Amino acid sequence: MNTTEIVERYYALANAGDWDPWCDLFAEDQTMDEQLAGHVEGRETLREMMKGFPDMYAEFANRPVHTVVQGDRAAVVSHISARTHSGVAVEADVCNYFQVADGHIVYMTNVHDTVPFAPVTGK
């Protein structure tokens, strides 16, 4: 897969809640700097972390609004609409940055306001 295909699949799998194949998009030695989860190294660490994701949200959608791809890098502005199991809505604009090598995401970071996620994080 090329960078565009990987990024499109990233969002398709996330919106389907299909977290195991979503994790497979990442390189074994991937690095992620995630706004809420912090620094995450390794695909299997990410996979373990994502096992708890369905416990946080009853509904989750991360819809791309604008995507820019240049070679092995991409930036995506998206909008998250989610609902916790207790019914609290989460709405947030996000920017994800991706670096791809050999058909996998090797680095990803995201930036967003953390306040909308307070019902989930407790912060």
Quickly list DSSP for 43-102. HHHHHHHHTTHHHH-SEEEEEEEEEEEETTEEEEEEEEEEE-TT--EEEEEEEEEEEEET
Could you tell me which of 25, 122, 30, 7 has the C-alpha nearest to residue 76?
7
Q: What is the pLDDT of residue 32?
A: 97
Gap between the Cα atoms of 30 and 39, Å rounded: 11
Per-residue confidence band for 89, with pLDDT thresholds at 50, 70 and 90: very high
DSSP structure string for 100-117: EETTEEEEEEEEE-SGGG
Q: How confident is the prediction for the chain on average, in pLDDT?
A: 94
Q: Would you state the pLDDT for residue 56? A: 86
Identify the three-state secondary structure at position 36. Answer: coil
How much of the chain exceeds pLDDT 70, in percent? Answer: 99
Q: Is the pLDDT of residue 21 over 90?
A: yes
The tokens of 7 are what? 């990024």
- pLDDT value at residue 100: 98
What value does the mean pLDDT take over residues 58-71?
97
Residue 83 has pLDDT above 80, yes or no: yes
- For residue 3, pLDDT over 90 is answered with yes
